[in-house]
Amino acid sequence: MKTIEDLGDVAGLRVLVRSDLNVPIKDETIGDDGRIRASLPTLVKLAKAGAKVIVTAHLGRPKGKPNPEFTLAPVAKRLGELLQPEGITVHFAGDVTGDSAQSAVQELDEGEVLLLENVRYDAREESKDEAERGALADELAALADVFVSDGFGVVHRKQASVYDVARKLPHAAGGLVLAEVDVLKKLTESPERPYVVVLGGAKVSDKLAVIDNLIAKADKLLIGGGMVFTFLKAQGHEVGKSLLEEDQLDTVKGYLETAKSKGVEIVLPTDIVVAPEFKADSPATVVAADSIPADQLGLDIGPESGKAFAAEVAGAKTVFWNGPMGVFEMEAFAGGTKAVAQALTEVDGLSVVGGGDSAAAVRQLGFADEAFGHISTGGGASLEYLEGKELPGLAVLEED
């Protein structure tokens, strides 16, 4: 993949950057600006080099039409606040490629940044029709001279602003994409050992291909979150009212057998925090993992399991973690996630937080980004890379 340096002198050039600025927003307030901050180094680098930086990004799922709930205006404001200390001005266009975008590009000075409105306001962005995507990519390409792909969280999507526009302009990978790929190569090609993978989140079905691929690569898989109850059920244990994917029981049994035959240890919790209802104030109790009452549901791994998982993580040289251990948004069920996060900060080696809910969890629980080796900005993209899939947004960058 070409880098920004390979583009040569960008002073005076209009550089279209695909960033991932898909952050949680409620009542125009950004809940976690991690992805915005992760996009800054590439934008600063280009602006300081004298480029006219035009940023395209998405927010949420507006379903192909303008919706005030999904405007990037609050993101533009935050971006402006973060870039102000660098002396970089941020402008905002009220549409994707229309009159507002075109006039804003014409007025853009060297060293300034322009954020275009939510690219998913245009239905062609996510169209399955190549010609439709291509038409939007043509309009985006007309605004710029070169393209820089820096939204790692979307490189697994064949979308106009990610894939098609890269085929229409000289292109390069931004610093964020290069950093993500470098880390993921370390996880898949030659990880330092012991290599521990921690998987949580709600469903086994979301992680099937990752488990398939990592059983052959990791030394230990630690399983928590809602997905653990399908594993416990597969071992013949009662799981009460806990989240359960009945249709995955045979698959999970297969994983347990495969892991055993390959000498890979699958570590499950020995205790579980349960409650009668999925509510923050529902009375929580700790029970043995093989003795969940029929009228209770599991909402976190228990304290002993938290200590055991933390010990496994702390003793590893390489750790990849994707998915919280429990319902971390509720204080009574955040202990397991907090224990794993704390252990990751103490790893003598590479610790990777795999984006999505895991990234949100560590920040909500008060951990600094710098405490971890790497926090991925792309949960889905990271998982697909670890599954061994080709990611269209990366493959296209390798084309001339």
**Known binding residues for substrate:** 20-22, 35, 58-61, 120, 157
Best CA proximity match to 266, nearest among 323, 317, 196 = 196
Please give the single-letter amino acid code of residue 256: L
Confirm whether 203 is a catalytic residue: yes
Helices (H) and strands (E) in the chain, counts: 13, 17
Catalytic residue among 77, 203, 217, 317: 203
Q: Any idea which residue has 């993500």 for tokens?
A: 180
Catalytic residue among 64, 94, 254, 380: 380
Beta-carbon contacts of 118 under 8 Å, excluding residues fewer than 6 positions away, are 57, 58, 59, 60, 62, 66, 70, 71, 72, 96
**Known binding residues for ATP:** 207, 298, 329, 355-358
Q: Quick one: DSSP state of residue 121?
A: G
Catalytic residue among 35, 124, 158, 241: 35
Residue 262: its H or E element: helix 249-262
Best CA proximity match to 321, nearest among 302, 339, 334, 296 = 339
**Known binding residues for (2R)-3-phosphoglycerate:** 35, 120, 157
Confirm whether 37 is a catalytic residue: no
Instruction: Give every strand in the sheet of 318-322, ordered side by side.
Output: 265-267, 220-223, 195-199, 318-322, 350-353, 374-375
Beta-carbon contacts of 122 under 8 Å, excluding residues fewer than 6 positions away, are 64, 96, 97, 136, 160
Q: How far is the C-alpha of 316 from the C-alpha of 322, rounded, in Å?
A: 16
Confirm whether 335 is a catalytic residue: no
Confirm whether 363 is a catalytic residue: no
**Known binding residues:** 20-22, 35, 58-61, 120, 157, 207, 298, 329, 355-358
Catalytic residue among 111, 134, 175, 356: 356
Residue 256 tokens read as 């347990």
Q: What is the DSSP string of 177-194?
A: HHHHHHHHHHHHTS--SS
Q: What is the DSSP string of 52-91?
A: EEEEE---S--TTS--GGG-SHHHHHHHHHHHGGGT--EE
Give, rounded to a whole angstrom, the gap between the first and last alpha carbons of the chain.
9
* Cβ–Cβ < 8 Å for 326, 333: yes
For the chain, the C-alpha Rg in angstroms (whole number) is 22
Q: Catalytic residues, which ones?
A: 35, 203, 356, 380
